[in-house]
Chains A and B, each alone.
Chain A
Amino acid sequence: MIQTRPDRRAALGLLAGAAASGLSACSGANDGVTRLRFWAMGNEGDHVGDLIPEFERRNPGVKVQIQIVPWTAAHEKLLTSYAGDSLPDVSQIGNTWVAELSAIGALSPTPTAARDLLTDQFPAVLDTNAVDGRAMATPWYVDTRLLFYRADLLARAGWDQMPTTWADWKRAMHAVKRAAGQGNYAILLPINEFEQLLTFGLQVDEPLLVDQATRGNFASPGFVAALAFYKSLFDEGLAPVASNTQISNVWTEFARGYFSFYMSGPWNVGEFRRRLPPQTRWMTAGVPGPTGPGASAPGGSSLAVFKSSPNQEAAWALVRYLLEPGVQAEFARITGDLPARRSAWSTPSVANDPYLKAFEAQLARAEAVPKAPEWERIVTEMQIVAERMVRGEYTPEAAGAEIDRRADRLLEKRRWMLERGRTT
C-alpha cells in the first residue's frame, strides 16, 4: 500500500519540506541527540512528563519532547498531520482510532522485538488494537463502562446483591424505583449517548457487523433483543427520556435518588467519591447480560509509533519503558488511569480500592467493537435511530432494519474497496 502511494503526498511533502527546511536546520538535529516527539492528550499529557526524566536518564542521547493535545482536537490533528506529513514519532491514540489510522497506513506494526509488550494484558483490549491479527498499537491504560449503583437503595428494595441477568436486573430496577419514591427513576440512559445501547448490543451472541465488517447486523435477533430491552426501560418508566444536557449535575441527582443506576467508566470513580455526600452508599458492579454477567466495550488509550518516524528504535524504547509494570503502577497513581498491564493491578493503590474491583472483572469480559474506520459514524447513526425508537417512531425490529440500512450506506465504500482487494 505504501509503495503504490501516488505522488500527491510526495509533492505536498516537497512543498512543506521546502518551507520547513529552514526551520529544521535550526533545531540542531546534528548534535547526536535523538529528539522524540511524543503527543499525549488531556490528563495523561499533563502528567506523563513526570515519568520522562527516568527514561532520559536510562537512555542517554534521547530527549522526549511532549506535546499536549486537547482531546477535542486530537483526532483531527492526527489525521491532518498525516495529510501534511508532520506526525510525531509516538502518540497516545484512542483505542477506537486504530482501525482508521491503520487503514491509511500511518501506524508502524509492533515489531517482533516488542512482542513481549503484548503479554500481561487484557485480551479484548489487545484485540481492539489489532488489525488482521497484527498488533498496530500497544495498550497504555484501559477503561470500560460498568454500573455505578446506589447500594443503599438497592438494599432497601430487598436486593443484597447486584443482579447479573437482564431479567433480574429489571425486577430489581422496578423495586428500586418503588423504593426511591414518586418522581424518581431507576436508571439514567442519556438518550444522546450511544455507549449504553452499544454495551447491551455487545452482550448478545451475534456480531454487530458481518462480512468482514462491511454490512450491518443490527437486525439480528440478538441485537433486536438488546433494542427491545433498551426500549422497555423507557417504556416501563425505569429511565427518563432525557439527554445528558438535560441532567445538569449527575452526582446531585444520583445522591437525591433521581436514578440509582448509572453507566460510566473509571474516570468517574474519583468524581463520585468527591462529590457524593458521605451517607450515600454506592458501589460499582459489572453490567448484567442476557443470561449472566455481560460484556462491555474496552476503552482507553494506546501508544502508537508512526511509520513515518525516522526514530523507530528510540520510539519503541519509550513505549517499552511506559509499559513496564512499575512505571504503569506509578502512572496509575498519578493519573488515576487503570493500568493496561495486569500485573500492575496488584499495586496497593489499585488493588485496595473497593470501587475498582469490578473493573478488572468487567475488563476480562470486555468485547472488542468492530474494527471498521466507519464505526464511530455507525454508532452515531445507531443512537439517532434508537432515540427515535424510544420516542415511539420505530419498533425494535424496524429500528434494527433502519440501523442496518444506514450502516450499509456508510460501509458502501468499504465494500467497494474490499471487492477490489484494496483493504482488509
Chain B
Amino acid sequence: MTDAPAAAAAAAAFAKPARRHGMGRRERAAWGFVAPALIAIAIFFVIPVVSALLLSLTDFDIYALADLDNLRFVGLRNYEQLLSNPLFWGAMKNTLWFSVLGVPLSIAASLAAAVILNARVVKWRPIWRVMFFAPYVTTLVATAVVWRYLLHTRYGVINWALQSVGLPAVDWLGQPETSIPAILMFVVWKIFGYNMLIFLAVLQTVPDDLYEAARIDGAGPWKQFRHVTLPAIAPTLLLVSIISVAGFFQLFAEPYVMTQGGPAQSTVTVLYFMYEEGFKWWNLGSASAVAFILFLCIFAVTMVQLWAARRMGAET
C-alpha cells in the first residue's frame, strides 16, 4: 500500500510524453482494450438496470404481457403502494432478522475456521480446507433437501440429538419462531467456507515476527488475536462483512426450497416477495420497484458500514 504514491508518480511520468505526441492513438488503444469489458457491462448490467428502473415506473402486469398497449406509465405509484403493503414490511423485517443474525454468525464461523486452520498445530490442512469449502460448491437445492431431512420433526437427526440429551423436539420448519434459525443454520453451513478461504489467505500474509514480538511481550492467544490478527485482517473483515450483508439481503433460494416462505409468511424475504410479485402475480412493474428499494437498502447499509469502519480506522 505504501507503493501507491510511487505508482501514481510513475503513471504521471508515463502520461506526460503521451500527452504531447499521439495521445489520441494511445487513448484509442486503451479504449480498445477496455471495450470488451465495457460492452459486456453495458449489455448485461447497464441496460437491464435502466430497463428495470423504467419498468418500475410502469404497471407492467398480466394484461401488458398479453398486449403491450395495456402498459401505463404510473410514476412512483408502485413505490407508494409497496410502502403501504404490510406483507412488504413483513418481508423487510424477516430479511433484517436474517441479516442481523446471519452476518455475524457466518463471519464468526468462517473466521474461527480460518484461525484454527491457520494454526501450526493442525495437521492435513488441505484436507480440512476442502472439507470446509465443500458445502459452498455443492448444489444448493440438493443440500437444502438433505437439510430438510436433518431438520425433520420426527425423523431428523437434529431432533434425535436434542432428544438424546433430554431436550424436547423442535418443529423447526413448521413454526414461525424457529423457521428463521433453522434456515440460518443451513445458510451458515453452506457459505462459511467461502469467507473462510478469504480469511485464510489474508491470515497467511500476517508476518510471523509480529506474533513472535507479541509472545515475547507476554501476550496470550486471545491477546495475540485481538491485537495482532484483528488489526491485520480488518480491511478484509470489512470487505467480507459488506459482501455478507449484500448476500443476506438477497436471500431467496434457501427459503424458496425449504419453506416456500412459510409458515405464516415468517420466511418471506424481500427477494422472495419480489419473486412472488413478479412471477406469481406477474406484476413486473411492482417487482422492479421492490428490486430498487432493496438496492437502496443494501447501498445504505454499506455506506453505514464504510462510515463505521472509517471511524474505527479499519480502512487503509
A interface, CB within 8 angstroms of B: 1, 4-6, 8, 72, 75-76, 79-80, 82-83, 100, 103-105, 192, 243, 245, 248, 373, 377, 384, 413, 416-417, 422-423
Q: How far is the CB of A2 from chain B (nearest CB, A)?
A: 9
**Chain B: interface secondary structure?**
loop
Q: Which 3 A-B pairs have the closest CB atoms?
A: A104-B66, A245-B263, A6-B68
The number of A-B residue pairs with CB atoms under 8 Å apart is 57
Asked whether, in the complex, the Cβ of B62 is within 8 Å of the Cβ of A104, the reply is yes
Asked whether, in the complex, the Cβ of A416 is within 8 Å of the Cβ of B72, the reply is yes
Instruction: Name the residue of chain B whose CB is nearest to the CB of A414.
Output: B63
Write out the residue numbers on chain B whose beta carbons fall within 8 Å of the beta carbon of A103: 62-63, 66
CA distance A290 to B72 in the complex (A): 43
CA distance A398 to B309 in the complex (A): 52
| CB-CB under 8 A for A422 and B70, given A82-B65, A103-B63, A245-B262 | yes
Asked whether, in the complex, the Cβ of B62 is within 8 Å of the Cβ of A4, the reply is no
Please tell me if B143 contacts chain A, counting CB pairs below 8 Å. Answer: no
Instruction: Name the residue of chain A whose CB is nearest to the CB of B66.
Output: A104
Write out the residue numbers on chain B whose beta carbons fall within 8 Å of the beta carbon of A76: 279-280
Task: Pull 19 A–B residue pairs with CB atoms less than 8 Å apart, ordered by A.
Answer: A5-B66, A5-B67, A6-B69, A76-B280, A83-B65, A103-B62, A103-B63, A103-B66, A104-B62, A104-B63, A192-B264, A245-B175, A373-B63, A384-B86, A417-B70, A422-B63, A422-B67, A422-B70, A423-B63
CA distance A377 to B175 in the complex (A): 25
| CB-CB under 8 A for A377 and B281, given A245-B263, A248-B171 | yes
Asked whether, in the complex, the Cβ of A245 is within 8 Å of the Cβ of B174, the reply is yes
Per-residue CB proximity of B260-286 to A under 8 Å, as 1/0? 101110000000000000011110000
Asked whether, in the complex, the Cβ of B279 is within 8 Å of the Cβ of A79, the reply is yes
CA distance A5 to B281 in the complex (A): 21
Partner of B176, one of A79, A245, A416: A245
Partner of B280, one of A6, A75, A384, A416: A75
Asked whether, in the complex, the Cβ of A413 is within 8 Å of the Cβ of B66, the reply is no
Partner of A72, one of B86, B171, B174, B260: B260
Write out the residue numbers on chain A whose beta carbons fall within 8 Å of the beta carbon of B279: 76, 79-80
Q: How far is the CB of A93 from chain B (nearest CB, A)?
A: 15
CA distance A5 to B174 in the complex (A): 45
CA distance A377 to B81 in the complex (A): 15
CA distance A76 to B61 in the complex (A): 13
Asked whether, in the complex, the Cβ of B66 is within 8 Å of the Cβ of A105, the reply is yes
CA distance A300 to B67 in the complex (A): 29
Please tell me if B254 contacts chain A, counting CB pairs below 8 Å. Answer: no
Write out the residue numbers on chain A whose beta carbons fall within 8 Å of the beta carbon of B260: 72
Write out the residue numbers on chain A whose beta carbons fall within 8 Å of the beta carbon of B280: 75-76
Write out the residue numbers on chain A whose beta carbons fall within 8 Å of the beta carbon of B65: 79, 82-83, 104
Asked whether, in the complex, the Cβ of A1 is within 8 Å of the Cβ of B63, the reply is no
| CB-CB under 8 A for A79 and B264, given A4-B67, A8-B68 | no
CA distance A245 to B267 in the complex (A): 14
CA distance A76 to B283 in the complex (A): 12
CA distance A72 to B280 in the complex (A): 10
CA distance A75 to B281 in the complex (A): 9
Asked whether, in the complex, the Cβ of B174 is within 8 Å of the Cβ of A248, the reply is yes
Asked whether, in the complex, the Cβ of B62 is within 8 Å of the Cβ of A373, the reply is yes
CA distance A80 to B281 in the complex (A): 11
Q: Interface centre among B67, B174, B282, by most A CB within 10 Å?
A: B67
Q: Interface centre among B86, B176, B282, by most A CB within 10 Å?
A: B282
